[in-house]
Every structure is written in C-alpha cells, then in structure tokens.
Amino acid sequence: MSTVTPLNLQVRPITAADNPLIAQVIRDVSAEFGLTADRGYTVSDPQLDHLFELYSEANSAYWIVEHEGRVVGGGGVAPLACSAPDICELQKMYFLPQVRGLGLARELALQAMDYARQRGFRRCYLETTGSLTRAIKLYESLGFTLIDEAMGCTGHVDCEVRMLKQL
C-alpha cells in the first residue's frame, strides 16, 4: 500500500532497489546524532544493507518515504527476537532533516502498529537513545511508556531508552 502525502511525499513498501538508499539515510542520520557503530547502534547491524530481505520475513514490514523520487526516510516493524511471540518491535525509524516535523514518523509508526495488530501482536517494543528527544516525545504521545529492562536480543547495547506499548 502506498500513501501520497503533502509536498510530493510518498510512503510505500520497501523494494530491493531501496537497500543502498535507505542504508545511506540511516548512516547519515546516525552520524548527525553521533550514533556510531562502535557503540552498538543501528549502523552496526549486519543487515543494514539488506533491509528489503530482512523485512520480507514473516510478520515484518518496512516502509520507505520518498520525496520527488528520492528516499528521505523509513521505518518498520518486525517480531522482537528472543521474546514472546506476541511482541513486535518498532524498528529503524530514520528521517532526513528536510522531512522532519511533517508528521511522517507518526504516520509511519501508526501504520506499523496497525500492521502488527492485524498480525496478532499485542505489544510493541522499541529502543532509542536519550539524545533523540523529539522521537521520545513522539513515542510517548503514541502511548509508549518507559520500561526499565531491555527486552529481546536486539544487540543495541547503548540504546538506554526502552519503551513498550499495548496494542
């Protein structure tokens, strides 16, 4: 399903051709915020250059945000590894500066949670870091609450902010 948004923005499912483009967006945004691979952030994920394949797995989805044909962001959802089968994880929500503040992250998160709910997930987990204050405020506004302990086995050891939401 593709969604057309204002300002010539389109939200659509990821394709194999998007792999290097969204990987670069994630690397650029991570560098902007100092989220380095040596500290266990997303840029260290071995599958970063293969997101289409990763999100082609069962009960997983990733959406790309395009502006005038250019990939400018994305976000996804997948089962939370090493956890109860009713828990999914909101993953890899990254947006270039020119499309922040337009409500795209909210739209994508809601779309991801709807997708998860339709597949029987009852809880949604996420990890982030305290320096991403706008993201944390967004997640709180969507009903996520802070939890003390990490869940699953994400490998993101420096993501000290952990949140959970009942779907």
Q: Output the CA torsion 135→137→113→44 (10° steps).
A: 30
Least confident of 5-19, 29-43, 62-76, 142-156: 29-43
Q: What percent of the chain has pLDDT over 70?
A: 88
Question: pLDDT band at residue 60, thresholds of 50, 70 and 90?
Answer: very high
| pLDDT, average across residues 9-35 | 93
Beta strands 161-166 and 145-147 are antiparallel
Q: Domains in the chain: how many in total? A: 1
Q: Residue 12: which CATH number?
A: 3.40.630.30
> For residue 161, what are the domain limits?
3-166
What order of strands is seen across the sheet that includes strand 9-13? 3-5, 9-13, 61-67, 70-79, 87-95, 123-128, 161-166, 145-147
Look at residue 95 and give its three-state secondary structure: strand
pLDDT at 85: 97
Task: Please determine, for residue 77, whether its predicted confidence score (pLDDT) is greater than 90.
Answer: yes
Query: Residue ranges of the alpha helices (H) in the chain?
Result: 19-32, 51-54, 104-118, 133-141
CA angle 152/109/79 to nearest 5° reads 30
